[in-house]
């Protein structure tokens, strides 16, 4: 299955650059639209929320890679996972930067005060901070330095990032009582995490059965 026609097409040299360009496009448009005053009456809020929403979308795409790989057998997908994770971090960093610069006027004292006053800001900050070690170790050299087992344990932080991101999004939408997108992305992330738990349990049972037969 891994050597099928779709796998070969996805492995073409032009596919990954197009994928990364597609990941960059929303941020380029949002910053350009903000600069040219095309984001409505509150461009700063639209920019911050737009970058945050794309962070959540890219997090979903990153977590979707493993189930797609397991279902399809297309090994080429494994080469997209880290890149999508880095783009998720890039959007989260831009989301945080836009908030600090436009909402807080670049004042870290104001940021610290806001973190204490509004729990959803604290949760969002924790999610961004948790992404830092994941982005910093998304390279082959880091895998060799940490060892595969420790690297995998570290990168399970992404599950906590997903939970914190959905909670941040939920609390942010509480004021407007608008939860449609929260339920959509929360449900999708819950399904992706449930798949991982089910697949890991199935693999452990298979390994246990192989050991007992041995």
Q: Does residue 208 form part of some domain?
A: no
Q: Does residue 212 form part of some domain?
A: no
Give pLDDT tens digits for 12-71.
Answer: 889 999 999 999 999 999 999 999 999 999 999 999 999 999 999 999 999 999 999 888
Residue closest to 90 by CA, chosen among 176, 157, 31, 155: 31
Q: Does residue 32 form part of some domain?
A: yes
Residue 91 contacts residue 51 (beta carbons within 8 Å): yes
* pLDDT reading at 151 higher than 80: yes
Q: Does residue 214 form part of some domain?
A: no
Residue closest to 199 by CA, chosen among 85, 79, 68: 68
Percentage with pLDDT > 90 across the chain: 60
- CA angle 138/86/158 to nearest 5° reads 75
Q: Does residue 35 form part of some domain?
A: yes
Q: Does residue 207 form part of some domain?
A: no
Encode 24-52: b = buried (16+ Cβ within 10 Å), e = exposed.
eebbeebbebbeeeebeeebeebbbbbbb
Q: What gap in Å lies between CA 211 and CA 131, rounded to an integer?
A: 37
SS3 72: helix
The pTM for the full model equals 0.90
Total domains, the chain: 1
- CA angle 39/182/103 to nearest 5° reads 40
Encode 171-193: b = buried (16+ Cβ within 10 Å), e = exposed.
bbbeeeeeeeebeebbebbeebe
Give pLDDT tens digits for 85-118.
Answer: 999 999 999 999 999 999 999 999 999 999 889 9
Question: For residue 184, what are the domain limits?
Answer: 5-202
Read off the tokens for 68.
């797609």
Q: Does residue 210 form part of some domain?
A: no
Q: Does residue 213 form part of some domain?
A: no
């Amino acid at each position: 299955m891994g050597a099928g026609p779709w796998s070969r097409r996805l492995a073409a040299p032009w596919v990954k650059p197009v994928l990364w360009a597609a990941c960059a496009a929303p941020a380029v448009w949002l910053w350009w639209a903000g600069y040219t005053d095309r984001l409505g009456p509150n461009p700063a809020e639209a920019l911050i929320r737009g970058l945050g929403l794309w962070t959540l979308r890219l997090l979903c795409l990153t977590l979707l890679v493993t189930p797609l790989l397991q279902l399809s057998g297309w090994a080429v997908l494994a080469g997209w996972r880290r890149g999508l994770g880095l783009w998720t971090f890039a959007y989260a960093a831009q989301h945080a930067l836009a908030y600090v610069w436009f909402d807080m006027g670049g004042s870290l004292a104001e940021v610290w005060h806001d973190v204490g006053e509004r729990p959803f800001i604290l949760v969002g900050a924790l999610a961004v901070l948790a992404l830092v070690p994941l982005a910093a170790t998304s390279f082959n050299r880091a895998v060799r330095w940490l060892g595969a087992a420790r690297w995998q344990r570290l990168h399970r932080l992404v599950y906590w990032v997903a939970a914190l991101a959905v909670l941040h999004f939920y609390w942010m939408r509480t004021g407007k009582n608008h939860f449609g997108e929260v339920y959509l992305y929360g449900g999708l992330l819950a399904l992706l995490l449930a798949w991982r738990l089910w697949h890991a349990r199935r693999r452990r049972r298979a390994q246990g059965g192989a050991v007992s037969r041995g």
